[in-house]
Structure 1
Amino acid sequence: MKKRLAAAFMGILVATSALAEGVTHHIAVHVNVDDATVMNVALNNIANLNKYYQEQGDDLVVEVVTYGPGLNMVLAGKSPVADRISAMSLEMDNLTFAACANTHRAMSKKAGEDVVLLDEATMVPSGAVRLVELQEQGYSYLRP
């Protein structure tokens, strides 16, 4: 009887340990409009997802992909959410921002000079292609 109880107890410990490790959720967030409300909703969604999954013992990896007018989200001097991006990036090491090089090139040409990205943003060749790549890698797609 003691051996069965010990075996059952060990089984519970192993199951509990596996649950405690949690899983990692991958989310691709799509921003392609120059709208402060949409940008804030995207950041609110990310903060809420992060809080929820932390409480569940899970991990979260988020990449915000910006292109078209949405590139303004990650432009220095133009982003209406620059302070939030900076703060959230410091709090969440699992949060990245991708900026479309095609859009960047077009905006820079129109401005007559290189438009500057926020430090938190990384250039990708194409925002649309990046979204496809992330989804092919198993990322869930979220568009605020």
Structure 2
Amino acid sequence: MNPTASLALALTLAASAAFGDGVVHHVALHVDENDPKLMNMVLNNAQNLTAYYAGQGDTAEIEIVAYGPGLNMYVEGKSPVADRIAQMSLENEGLHFSACANTIAGMEKKTGEKVALLSEAAIVPSGVVRLIELQEQGYAYVRP
């Protein structure tokens, strides 16, 4: 292969690697209010991000972190968005739901009852710390 053809092939391969393989975008979303409108807006943001990046040939890893009053988003029997979370979780393996252990402990102390979470929610030691960790890992932070 002559040098010009080699250069052309190298540039073509570099361009296809840059545009064809897709990029993984990392996004952290945050819920700290017991407000169904806010919870739905966060879920809408996650859906819209996923759809936009899919249209670009990219993917998104999205983590929704809930703490304080926003933890009700993940509480079984209280969550106004439980059905949406269940459906979205099935449709998007890159969508993750994190629940603050500090908030759970406070709720249990206040009510004297165990807090049951939706099966999609994973417990993290601290919601605020989790948001910091995600940002330190390069996640874009969005607070609706």
Q: What's the % identity of the aligned pairs?
A: 56
Equivalent residue letter for 1:83: D
CA displacement at 1:6 relative to structure 2: 7.1
Equivalent residue letter for 1:127: G
1:7-26 to 2 correspondence within 5 Å? Answer: 7-8=7-8, 11-26=11-26
Unaligned runs of 5+ in 1: none
Please list every run of at least 4 consecutive aligned residues from structure 1 whose deviation after the TM superposition is greater than 2 angstroms: 2-14
Equivalent residue letter for 1:53: Y
CA displacement at 1:15 relative to structure 2: 1.0
Equivalent residue letter for 1:21: D
Unaligned runs of 5+ in 2: none
Equivalent residue letter for 1:107: M
2-structure distance, mates of 1:100, 1:4: 58
CA displacement at 1:109 relative to structure 2: 1.7
TM-score of the superposition, structure 2-length normalised?
0.93
- Give the match for residue 137 of structure 1: 137
TM-score of the superposition, structure 1-length normalised?
0.93
Equivalent residue letter for 1:94: G
Aligned pairs, number: 143
- Give the match for residue 79 of structure 2: 79
Equivalent residue letter for 1:118: L
1-structure distance, mates of 2:129, 2:13: 44
**CA shift digits 1:2-31 (9 cap, x unpaired):** 874675255324412431111111001010
Equivalent residue letter for 2:80: P
**Deviates further, 9-18 or 69-78:** 9-18
- Give the match for residue 123 of structure 1: 123
> What RMSD in Å do the two structures reach over aligned CA positions?
1.5
